[in-house]
Amino acid sequence: MTPKQGLLVCCLSILPWGSAFAERDWYRYENTYFEAFSDDSPRNVRKTLDELELFRAAVAQIANIQIPDDAPKVRVVSFASNTEFHSLIGSIYIDGFTTSSDGIHYLVLADKSTPEWEKRAARHEYAHVLLSYKNFPYPSWFHEGFAELMSMTEFRNRDREFSVGKPTGRQKYSNQSPQWSALLASDFNMHGIRDWGDRSDVYLLSWVLTHHFMIDDDFANTDKLVRYLTLLGQGQDSVSAFEASVGEPADEYCNKLLREYSKRKLRFVTYEFNPEFLDLEFVRSDASIDDIRPLLDKLERRGTEN
């Protein structure tokens, strides 16, 4: 950590976030799938929530994700102030995170004014939640790759179509050869990586693998993914299951794949959007700071773990 970074973190740790939150009005927004709390403007909140709802319907459609009828609503907390969000979780390098408590999923977001951030950060975090409804022990690389792949979903033709598979725009920060076996390992821990550049590399590499298996070559590699997941479900460790599925050592296969992806135009797929289960009717009501404070206290404890 540089001296400047240390100073920023120190300053964040002493901000009186409780009194600042109390100075603004908080509101609750609800539809079939979300319960949201925010002190941001209704216009900003609705923009974020509408994007999330469109995204939920699209991902559920293409990934065949069924949200159980008795599943608790996902709780979204969106902050009007980036500074207060970062103070709450004790880090200036996290713009959003998901966590769960007592069976409830939380999607916690800092506010930024750029639409691109709203789309990518919120979608990435919510994709983790959606994938969890599959009730399968997906490895960390697939969780991150799936979230990155879905985060770039692009709606077209007045939301009647959407495209999946667009490049993430990430670059590889390390010039060293990736440690694929470590990334593919069953016990790989994304949250154990503190360096921002290293994290970005993991997101990129995970996206490359997920794009390759789910979309590339006219879906020619999906059989390999199905075999890999089948072996995982049978209790085989992740690396050996991967190598058995692709027929090569992991490092050789993945390095060759990374070289190919750096040279050619990448494929994306466009689907016709089915709005049958779309629910954009968010109902707004007042929420007092007394209602919000226990939630913020819980998120402060959970956020420092991410």
Smallest Cα–Cα separation from 139: which of 100, 184, 171? 184
What pLDDT, in 10s, does the model give residues 92-143? 767 777 778 888 888 887 765 545 665 787 788 889 989 999 989 899 999 9
pLDDT at residue number 199:
86
Q: How many CA atoms lie within 13 A of 272 on its CB side?
A: 1
Give this prediction's pTM.
Answer: 0.80
Four-way CATH pick for 1-135+277-306: 3.40.30, 1.10.3470, 3.60.21, 4.10.1110 = 3.40.30
| CATH 3.40.30-classified regions of the chain | 1-135+277-306
What pLDDT, in 10s, does the model give residues 266-303? 788 999 988 787 898 999 999 877 777 777 777 776 55
Contact 238, 209 (CB under 8 A): no
In terms of Cβ atoms closer than 10 Å to its own Cβ (0-12, 13-18, 19+), residue 175 is exposed
Pick from 3-12, 17-26, 175-184, 220-229 the range whose average pLDDT is largest.
220-229
Question: What residues form DSSP beta bridges with 161?
Answer: 156, 272
Q: Report the C-alpha gap between 117 and 132 in whole angstroms.
A: 23
Contact 207, 170 (CB under 8 A): yes
